[in-house]
Amino acid sequence: MLTEAQIHLALVFLKMFLRDIQSMIFNLFFPMAFITVFIFTGGEPDPIKIGIVDKASNQLSKSFSLLLDEDTNFDVLEGLETELSNKLVEGELVAIIEIPDQFDYAYETAELKLILDASQVRQLDGIKDSIEKTLLSIERELRGTEAMFSLEIVDMKARPQRYIDFLIPGLLAFMLMNLSIAGSGFNLVEYRRRGILKRLFVTPIRPKDFIISIVLARLMIVLIQLSVVLWFALLILDIQLIGGLLSIYGMIALGSLIFLCFGFCFGSIAKTQEAIRPLVTSFTFPQLILSGVFFPISSLPEMIQPVAQFLPLSVIASSLRGIANDGLSLLSFDQNLIGVLVWLILSFFLATRYFVWRDVAG
Amino acid sequence: MTIIEVRDLKKAYFLPGKGKEKFNAVDGISFDILSREIYGILGPNGAGKTTTLEMLEGLKEIDDGTALIDGIDVSIDPYNVKKLIGVQLQSNEYFDKLNLSELLTLFSKLYSTNVDASKLLDQVDLLNKAQSKTQHLSGGQRQRFSIACALVNSPKILFLDEPTTGLDPQAKRNLWRLVKDLNSSGMTIVLTTHNMEEAEYLCDRIAIMDKGRLIAEDTPSALIEKYAPEPSDIPVTGNIEDVFLNLTGHSLRD
């Protein structure tokens, strides 16, 4: 049971946070700005800009260019080889297709040359595939033949998933990490440095009371701030939420507890604000990049993936995504949820191991 | 009646930058403090005054020896000692998003009591500052507020750690009057200071500490009689500062 002192102290922490308008705005600024930019850019992938050097310049090659241009995946620019090569080098074009002189029905196979700057093309295979597919369908159309097969891809989940649906759970996980660590780690260092902790421990409260109050207050703060983003995404952006809201909030609370524990560790190890900053950055920054917040872990180099998927932020982001996108609940024990529980136990152990109780006041 | 009984109190710290080497900040001191007296601990910087106080307040662990506060052993039951005492620390920073009234309410809740914040602020002449934040108070106001915070649990014993350091003469006199008032209402007061005038004016008895040891203890007048240099031909009477310098030497302390 909570004592009156614990509840009052928690409310005081909450009140102080709510009075700090500036930090509240800054905490929300990045995720909201990110989402807003995303809304304005529409989130659709840009068409691939492709140049065509038409050396044949006959009926057939012209139809080819026309059909390629009609494909929404491509943005076609016709021109001379030298002119287009320059654009390729400058990065304005992704690739150039060269239509040879002998591009005619008479020839069995005409070889189109695809020129590109491999260093600039990240998904070479993807581009090659989509060009080949387009060529194939153009060929059929020009020759007037019917395709022997066609492959219709039916999503078993039958839900269109947009990038924003992927992004929001990751963004929530990232926000809860920052808010939690700031609440326990940075506050602990600050209160100790200014002698406020010592003043609190003049009274008969125990370290446990202090910890419980901070945790309670921070959970409230995280829930309030993440709700702003979550409900904005739900109501304005109409993001997917297949699983229950209760599971989402439950996972947010579990995730916050993990990072609050880490924060207490860092706050105990680092004695000054100068020391805790790099310590926390070296913990959060790699996770920002490796934990699939902004792009899927599967797009990382394969060597890193096994490590990346077990990071605390990864398992929390993936769990939130599982609940939002795939309708999992807190009771469906998948690999990520188990990961969350393991990190919770581990971080709690580390926090109690490193939290220097006596030092709290000193 | 003895309210604080200290026997062979010791505290050692690691010497900074010297590995496992320790030095004794408090080196086996013993003294008794009587109920309702103002007891001053006098000493140069680094003498061990604050460490002694913080051990009695349950803020620092006692390495060796015993301290009984109103019959309770501090090292065994620090939480019950904390309920009996009021403490004004040397550094007096508070949450800067709360006003004075809210801070007093917070502290009283931490003792599981309810306090009339206005009454307490009135007692230390800060009623008109109830809605101010501590960072907007002057030095003297801040010290008075610190004392108000120390009074939320109506303590039997009040510990003041260098309460007038850095105050101007008016603020200092004002604080002395407050301390005297509290004492005459029945509160035992233990204070540290390196202000001789303060010790002489306020304290019923004075203990002089140096290098972790207690080197003299008595009433101000008895100490002057015992240790102040004989008046010379020029008609100068010794005071407690003479006693202090005579006992602790004249070299500068950090």
pLDDT in tens, A97-106: 888 887 776 6
Of the candidate ranges B37-46, B209-218, B228-237, the one whose mean pLDDT is the lowest: B228-237
Do residues A25 and A168 both lie within one domain? Answer: yes
- Region A323-343: mean pLDDT is 87
CATH superfamily label, B2-248: P-loop containing nucleotide triphosphate hydrolases (3.40.50.300)
Residue A153 lies in a domain: no
Angle of helix A245-269 relative to helix A335-354, nearest 10 degrees, comes to 30
Angle of helix B240-248 relative to helix B220-227, nearest 10 degrees, comes to 60
**What percentage of chain A has pLDDT greater than the value 70?**
88
How far apart are the C-alpha atoms of A200 and B118, rounded to whole Å? 21
More reliable by pLDDT, A111 or B224: B224
Average pLDDT, chain B: 92
pLDDT in tens, A264-311: 989 888 888 889 999 999 999 999 889 988 888 888 888 888 889 899
**What percentage of chain B has pLDDT greater than the value 70?**
95
Task: Tell which of A108, A143, A178 closes a domain.
Answer: A143
More reliable by pLDDT, B157 or A37: B157
What are the phi and psi torsion angles at A250 (to 5°)? -60, -45
- Region A165-171: mean pLDDT is 90
pLDDT in tens, A180-208: 998 888 888 889 889 898 999 999 998 88
- Whether A143 has a pLDDT exceeding 80, the answer reads no
Domain holding A63: CATH number? Answer: 3.40.1710.10
- Minimal C-alpha gap between A206 and chain B (Å): 8
Within 8 A of B106 by CB-CB distance, chain A residues are 8-9, 12
Strands (DSSP E) found in chain A: 48-54, 74-78, 95-99, 113-116
Do residues A85 and A225 both lie within one domain? Answer: no
Average pLDDT, chain A: 83
Say if pTM beats, i.e. exceeds, 0.95.
no
Residue A151 lies in a domain: no
Do residues B128 and B145 make contact, with C-beta atoms less than 8 angstroms apart? no
Q: How confident is the model at residue A158 (pLDDT cuts 50, 70, 90)?
A: very low
Strands (DSSP E) found in B179-232: 188-193, 205-210, 213-218
DSSP string, A200-233: HTTTT--HHHHHHHHHHHHHHHHHHHHHHHHHHH
Nearest to A204 among B60, B82, B91 (CB): B82
How far apart are the C-alpha atoms of B132 and A273, rounded to whole Å? 27
> How many CA atoms, within 13 angstroms, populate the side-chain half-sphere of residue B252?
1
Report CB contact under 8 Å: B80, A204: yes
Residue A294 lies in a domain: yes
- Tell me which residue has tokens 């910087």: B45
Do residues A114 and A235 both lie within one domain? Answer: no
Do residues A131 and A270 both lie within one domain? Answer: no
- By DSSP bridging, strand A113-116 and strand A95-99 are antiparallel
Do residues A239 and A341 both lie within one domain? Answer: yes
Do residues A116 and A228 both lie within one domain? Answer: no
**ipTM value for the complex:** 0.89
- Whether A359 has a pLDDT exceeding 60, the answer reads no
Do residues A17 and A53 both lie within one domain? Answer: no
List the single residue in A with minimal CA-CA distance to B105. Answer: A8
Do residues A112 and A229 both lie within one domain? Answer: no
- Whether B249 has a pLDDT exceeding 80, the answer reads no
Domain boundaries, chain B: 2-248
* A194 has a chain B CB within 8 A of its CB: yes
List the single residue in A with minimal CA-CA distance to B102. Answer: A12
- Whether A263 has a pLDDT exceeding 50, the answer reads yes
- Tell me which residue has tokens 């971080």: A347
pLDDT number for residue A126: 63
- In this structure, is the dihedral angle defined by the CA atoms of residues B153, B155, B159 and B164, taken in order, positive or negative? positive
How far apart are the C-alpha atoms of A316 and A254, rounded to whole Å? 9
Helix (H, G, I), strand (E, B) or coil at A341: helix
Do residues A176 and A226 both lie within one domain? Answer: yes
Task: Tell which of A143, A170, A192 closes a domain.
Answer: A143
pLDDT number for residue B233: 63
Q: How confident is the model at residue A362 (pLDDT cuts 50, 70, 90)?
A: very low
Do residues A225 and A259 both lie within one domain? Answer: yes
Residue A96 Ramachandran class (φ > 0 left, ψ -120 to 50 alpha, else beta): beta
Report CB contact under 8 Å: A8, B110: yes
Considering its fold, how many domains does chain A have in total?
A: 2
Residue A213 lies in a domain: yes
Residue A155 lies in a domain: no
Residue A255 lies in a domain: yes
Task: Tell which of A109, A143, A177 closes a domain.
Answer: A143
For residue A100, the enclosing domain spans: 48-143
Do residues A190 and A135 both lie within one domain? Answer: no
- Whether B236 has a pLDDT exceeding 70, the answer reads no
- Whether A178 has a pLDDT exceeding 80, the answer reads yes
- In this structure, is the dihedral angle defined by the CA atoms of residues B109, B110, B112 and B117, taken in order, positive or negative? negative
